[in-house]
Amino acid sequence: MSITEGDVAIRLRGVEKRFAGATQPAVTSLDLEIPRGQIVTFVGPSGCGKTTTLKMINRLIEPTAGSIEVLGRNVGSMKKPELRRQIGYVIQQIGLFPHRTIAANIATVPKLVGWDKRRVAERVDELVELVGLDREMLQRYPSELSGGQQQRVGVARALAADPPILLMDEPYSAVDPIVRGRLQDELLALQRRVNKTIVVVTHDIDEAIKLGDRVVLFEVGGVVAQQGPPGDLLAAPASPFVEEFLGRERGLKRLSLLTVADADLTTGWTVEAATPSSEAVEVMRANGLEWIAVRDDNRLLGWVWLDDVAAVTRAGDAPLHEFRAHVTPSTPLREALDGIVTSQTRVAVVIDEGRYLGMLTIADISESVGRGTG
C-alpha cells in the first residue's frame, strides 16, 4: 500500500539515533511514512527503538542523522515549543500536573498558546464530554482520580488545542486489563470523531493489532521488520521474526480483525412456523438433521428437535429453543467463534436489525480465514 504525497503526516528519512556510550545504534537508517488521519502502531520487543522513534517526532530526543518532517515541515528547523504545541502527547505514567485541578490540566496547551478564558473554558467542556469524564471531576486534583480516569484526562489534555497529530507512548500499560480494553475501545470511538493522525507505541501485539490501521513492527536496532495493515501482517508474515512476534494464535488474531460480514454464510435449514410437521420431518430426515430452525418470515423464532416436531401438527407448535449465539454482520469473527463453540447447535445465527440473514458455522469461519493466506 503506497501513500500519495499529500496524505503523509509524518515522514522519516534515513533517521538514525546513537546514544552516547552505546555500542549499537538505537535506530538505524529508518525510513517511514505515517499517513494522515490514521492510527499507526509501533510495536516490537524492548530495545527495538520504537519509543526512541516516537520521541524523535516531537524532539524529546534528537536524531543523530536523517530528517523528520511533520506536515511537510522539517522538525529540526522549528522551535521545540512551537512544534510540540501542535502535537498531542500521552505517556504511560500519564504525567498529569499534580498541583493543578483537572480543568487546569486539560487547559494547559490552550493557555500556553494564549487562548482567552472563555474559549479555554468552552474547550474544556467539550473535551470532558469527548473523553467521557464526569464534569464534577473538573475541580478535583489528579490524585483524587482512578488510573483509568487519569488516563482519560491525559488524552483530553493532549487533544486540548486540537493538534493534528497525537503521539501515545505505551498509553495503557499501567492500567488493569479490563480498563485497558475499555480505554482502547474509547480511543477507537474517539478517532472516528476527531480523525487525527495517531501514533501509538506498545509492546503488546494484540493492542497494536486492535488499534492500528497500520502496524509497524520493529526489530532490535530500530529496523522495520514489516509494516502494513494488521491483517496483512497476520496473513503473510515477512520473516520468521515477524511470525514469532505475532505469536502462536495468528489465525485467532486475524479472526478478531475480520467480521461476520467477511464470511460467506450458510443459509441454514429453516422452516416456517406454519409448516405442517409432517413436511418438516420429511425435510429433516432427508437431510439427516436432528434439529431445525423455525422462522416467521424474516424473524427467527428459535429451533426445535426432530422428535418434538413429529409429535405436533405444525412445526411452530413444538417446544422452541432459543439460539444462544446471536451475531450481527459487524461482530468480529473471533467473538462469533466463541459463541459457536459454546452453543448447543454449533451455529451462530446472523441477525441484522431483526432480520434473519443466515447461519455461521466453524467451517464458514475457517473458509474466510483460509482466504488470503494462499
Partner 1 sequence: MLDVLAQASLRDEFVAWSWINDRWDEVWEHTVDHVQLTLFAVAVGLLISVVLSAIALWWRPAYGPITWVTGFLYTIPSLALFAFLVPITGLGFVTAEIALVSYTLLILVRNIVAGVDGVSPAVKEAADAMGYTPVRRFLAIDLRLATPTIVAGVRIAAVTVVGLVSVAALVGEGGYGVLILDGLRRDFSTPIVLGAVLSVVLAVAIDVALLLVERALTPWARRGVAR
Which listed range, 81-89, 308-316, 334-342, 343-351, lies at the site for partner 1 (CB under 8 A)?
81-89
Gap between the Cα atoms of 168 and 179, Å rounded: 17
Among 34, 91, 156, 315, binds partner 1 (CB under 8 A): 91
Q: How far is the CB of 58 from partner 1 (least distance, A)?
A: 6
Q: How many residues make contact with partner 1 (CB under 8 A)? A: 33
The identity of residue 316, as a single letter, is G
Question: Could you tell me if 102 and 139 are in contact, meaning their C-beta atoms sit under 8 angstroms apart?
Answer: yes
Gap between the Cα atoms of 290 and 356, Å rounded: 21
Q: How far is the CB of 322 from partner 1 (least distance, A)?
A: 42
Assess 39 for contact with partner 1 (CB under 8 A). Answer: no
* Cα distances (angstroms) measured from residue 234 to each of 41, 202, 253: 15, 17, 8
Assess 172 for contact with partner 1 (CB under 8 A). Answer: no
Contacts with partner 1, 129-168, as mask; x by CB under 8 A: -----------xx-xxxxx---------x---------x-
Assess 227 for contact with partner 1 (CB under 8 A). Answer: no
Among 7, 74, 76, 97, binds partner 1 (CB under 8 A): 97
CA atoms within 13 A on the CB side of 308: 15
Assess 114 for contact with partner 1 (CB under 8 A). Answer: no
Among 18, 85, 203, 321, binds partner 1 (CB under 8 A): 85
Which listed range, 22-30, 96-104, 244-252, 298-306, lies at the site for partner 1 (CB under 8 A)?
96-104
Gap between the Cα atoms of 74 and 241, Å rounded: 33
Read off the DSSP letter of residue 346.
Answer: S
Q: How far is the CB of 84 from partner 1 (least distance, A)?
A: 4
The identity of residue 198, as a single letter, is I
Gap between the Cα atoms of 119 and 123, Å rounded: 6
